[in-house]
Amino acid sequence: MEQTQADFSPPRDAQEQAAVADIVAQAFAMSPADSLTLVQRVGAAGYRVLREDGRVASTLSYLRMGQWLGGRSVPIVGVGSVGVSPAHRGSGVATRMMQALLREVRAEGVPLSVLYPATQPLYRRVGYELAGSRFEVRVRAGELELGERSLSVRPVRPSDEAAITECYRRVAQHRQGWLDRGVNAWSRVRQPRGEVAYGYVVEGTSGVEGYVYLVRRAPPPPQLRQEIFLTDLVASTPAAARRLLRFLGDHRSLAHEVAWFGASNDPLLMLLREQAYQVKLHMHWMARLVDVRGAMEARGWPEEVSGALHLEVDDDLFPENQGRFVLEVSGGGARVRAGGDGRMRLHVRDLASLYTGFQSAEALRQVGLVQADDGSVRTASALFASVAPSLCDMF
C-alpha cells in the first residue's frame, strides 16, 4: 500500500505524541513516564509516525546529523526508536514506514541514513546493510596509572561547551564513521537517561586538549568498588591522552573497571603496558545510500589515489539509483556520472558496506555480493581503503 504524505509525518498533536510514547514504552520495555519524558525531550519534530486508518500505527525518531567518512562530514539521517503498535504487528507496517522515511530523506537532499538494527531483515528489505561496528572496551582501572600529570584537569564549566565540541571535531574527523554530532547526540553524552555524567577537561597551552564525561555506577552486592562508565573520552594531543588515562587510573581505589564504547582498535589502548582489557562487539550498525551520486560526492577520498570505477547498481526503491554509473576519484574528491560499462555489479545494500570501508570489494566478491572483474576489484580496494568504521554513539 503506497503511503501518502498525510499518512507519514511528525506527530500532529499531544494525542499523537502520547501514542508515540506508548509505542516506545512497549517496544523498549520502558516505564510510561520515562517514555513520555524521552519523547518530550526529543520533541515532535524529531519523530515520525505512520498512520493506518487515521491512527498512529508505528513510529521512529528522525535525527539530522553528519558522519565523518574519508575526512568529510556526510549529511545523514540517524534512525532510532523504531516501534510498531502491538495491534499492527505482522501487517508490514514497519516496512511501509521505512520506505516512507527514505522517500522523505531523499526529498530533503540527505544522501545517507544510518541506524542500529534490532532485526536485520526489515532494514535489508529497504536497502540498509552492515556498514560498521560499535565495541565495548573494558579496562582494569589499575592499568591506567601511566604517571602523566603535566597537564591540569578540572571539572567542566558551562563556558567550555564550544571548546569541547571543537576538541571532539578535531579528533572525530579522522575517525572513520564517527558522528558529526547534533544536539541529540551531545545530550546523550552530557545528560544520559537516568544517570548523572560528570565532565572533566584537560587543559594545555592551546586550551582544551581533551575531556571525559563519566558516570559512576554502584556495584552489585557483594562487590565494593564501583564501575566507571564513560559517555565520552576524547584526547586531541598525546599529552592529553596520557593525562586522561592517568586521571581515570587515579580512581583505582574506588573502581574496579573503566568502560566505554568505540572501536576495537582504539588508539588509547596502545598506551597501556599490558593487554589488561577486554574488547567486545556491542552491535554492528547499518547504512543506506539514499542517493548514490550524492553520497559518493559528499564523502572524502584519499588524496594520493585516483581512478575510475564502473558500477552497476540495483535499487528496488529508488529508480534514480538504478543502473550504471562511473565513479571518478581524484585529488580527494569524486564525481559521479551516468553510464559506463557496469563492470562491478552489486545491490545498493552491499554498496553501503563498500562505501564506508566495512568490507572490501574482494571480500564482498568472495561471498557472492559483488560481481566484478579483477581490475575493478583492485580499483575499488584502492579507492575505498579505510580503517574499520566505528561509532561510539548510540541513537
Domain enclosing residue 115, as ranges: 8-127
Indicate whether 54 and 145 sit together in one domain: no
Averaged pLDDT score across all residues of the chain:
95
On whether the CB atoms of residues 165 and 121 are closer than 8 A, the answer is no
- Give residue-wise pLDDT tens across range 22-56: 999 999 999 999 999 999 889 999 999 999 999 99
pLDDT tens digits, 246-263: 999 999 999 999 999 999
Structural domain includes residue 273: yes
What local confidence, expressed as pLDDT, does residue 6 receive?
59
Strand positions, DSSP E, the chain:
8-9, 47-52, 55-69, 72-84, 112-115, 129-140, 152-155, 179-180, 197-204, 207-217, 226-235, 255-262, 277-289, 307-314, 323-330, 333-338, 344-347, 371-372
**Residue with the three cell numbers 509505542:** 23
Any domain includes 315 = yes
In-domain check, residue 364? yes
Q: 120 and 25, same structural domain? A: yes
pLDDT for 219 = 83
Closest by CA position to 56, among listed 107, 14, 2, 113: 14
**pLDDT for 129 beyond 70:** yes
Domain CATH for 328? 3.30.1050.10
Q: Which helix (H) or strand (E) holds 385?
A: none
pLDDT at 183: 92
157 and 112 fall within a common domain: no
Same domain, 144 and 92: no
Q: Please, where are the H alpha helices in the chain?
A: 14-27, 32-42, 93-107, 120-125, 161-172, 183-190, 238-249, 292-298, 348-356, 361-366, 374-383
Rounded Cα gap, residues 259 and 227, in angstroms: 8
pLDDT surpasses 80 at 3:
no
259 and 321 co-located in one domain = no
Which CATH number do you get for residue 197? 3.40.630.30
274, 140: one domain: yes
What band does 117 get if pLDDT is binned at 50, 70 and 90? very high
Q: What is the pLDDT of residue 147?
A: 78
For residue range 325-334, list pLDDT tens digits in order. Answer: 999 999 999 9
Confidence band, pLDDT 50/70/90 cuts, at residue 128: very high
Instruction: Give the pLDDT score at 23.
Output: 98
Confidence band, pLDDT 50/70/90 cuts, at residue 4: low
Residue 297 reports pLDDT greater than 60:
yes
Residue 2 confidence (pLDDT) above 60 = no
Q: What is the pLDDT of residue 20?
A: 97
My answer on whether 14 and 119 are in the same domain is: yes
| CB 131 within 8 Å of CB 389 | yes
Phi, psi dihedrals of residue 242, rounded to the nearest 5°? -70, -35
Q: Are residue 219 and residue 274 in the same domain, yes or no?
A: yes
Domain count, the chain: 3
* pTM of the predicted structure, to 2 decimals: 0.94
Specify whether 172 is located in the same domain as 41.
Answer: no
Please tell me whether residues 213 and 103 are part of one structural domain: no
- Domain membership of residue 391 (yes or no) is no
pLDDT above 80 for 230: yes
| pLDDT tens, position by position, 131-141 | 999 999 999 99
